[in-house]
């Protein structure tokens, strides 16, 4: 078997499935940057700018990994948005099952810091799973679910997250909460609050238009939005096999 693989590689006949396997990804997974490098990535769980305040298990690199078909559909969404000088920005893509387990353990550790409460100002973190804001079995682990937002390429997106700054909670006006370099969707990313529900009545007309634009653009490529999170979209196959390989840097 090894001889066949080597000969095929030398002949330049390695199949896409095998080639991806050699990069450390299962055959139907791919790095999004290899499919569309114009899509902005801000993979939050690979750093400290997230609700846990640290890198989450399995995120060894800030890379968006998706099923290839999902990536191609995101590329089609990006092409449509580019005509309006907009871009997608990815916050999370494939999520290793070990990361989900890490989130579960975090929710049960009996501690809650002020920085953590910025993400769930109205609820205790121990209740986030019961309320449906975090799942014990995530569609992200199948490679068919993504978290994302929109970026206005003509706007000033230069504000950067400062871990030493005491930001307001995720439901506050955009100037007071942690910067995300994106359009104002009414809440920050990963905001566990009713205001983050996609059709929340407490947001402004402009924020509602941005959310509607994102939902419509994603729906045209077969993505379904999760009603409690304006940023979360999945393909119907998101209920498939969950994976647990760590996310490494694209070669």
Q: Is 140 annotated as a binding residue?
A: yes
Contact 233, 73 (CB under 8 A): no
Return the SS3 of 49.
coil
The answer on whether 197 is annotated among ligand-binding residues is no
Angstrom distance (rounded) from CA 173 to CA 20 = 43
Under 8 Å between Cβ of 212 and 61 = no
Is residue 229 annotated as a catalytic residue, yes or no?
yes
How many helices (H) and strands (E) would you count in the chain? Answer: 7, 7
- State the catalytic residue, choosing from 80, 112, 116, 229: 229
- Residue 60 annotated as binding site: no
Decide if 187 contacts 122 (C-beta within 8 A).
no
Separation between Cα atoms, residue 222 and residue 36, nearest integer Å: 18
Q: Which residues are annotated as a binding site for Zn(2+)?
A: 140, 147, 232
Tell me the binding residues.
140, 147, 232
> Would you please indicate which residues are annotated as catalytic (active-site) residues?
229
């Amino acid at each position: 078997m090894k001889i066949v693989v080597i000969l095929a590689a030398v002949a330049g006949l390695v199949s896409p499935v095998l080639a991806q396997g050699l990069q450390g990804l299962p055959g139907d997974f791919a790095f999004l940057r290899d499919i569309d490098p114009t899509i902005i990535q801000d993979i939050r769980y690979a750093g400290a700018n997230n609700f846990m305040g640290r890198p989450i298990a399995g995120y060894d690199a800030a890379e968006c990994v998706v099923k290839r078909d999902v990536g191609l559909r995101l590329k089609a969404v990006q092409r449509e948005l580019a005509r309006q000088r907009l871009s997608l920005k990815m916050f999370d893509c494939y999520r290793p099952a070990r990361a989900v387990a890490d989130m579960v353990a975090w929710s049960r550790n009996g501690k809650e810091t002020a920085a953590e409460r910025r993400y769930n100002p109205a609820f205790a973190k121990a209740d986030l799973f019961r309320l449906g804001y975090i799942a014990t079995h995530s569609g992200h682990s199948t490679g068919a679910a993504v978290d994302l937002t929109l970026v206005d390429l003509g706007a000033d997106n230069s504000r950067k997250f400062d871990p030493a700054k005491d930001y307001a909670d995720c439901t506050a006006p955009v100037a007071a909460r942690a910067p995300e370099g994106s359009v104002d969707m009414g809440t920050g990313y990963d905001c566990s609050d009713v205001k983050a529900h996609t059709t929340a009545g407490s947001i402004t007309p402009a924020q509602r238009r941005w959310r509607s634009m994102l939902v419509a653009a994603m729906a045209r490529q077969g993505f379904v939005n999760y009603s409690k999170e304006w940023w979360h979209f999945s393909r119907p196959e998101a209920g498939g096999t969950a994976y647990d390989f760590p996310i490494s840097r694209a070669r």
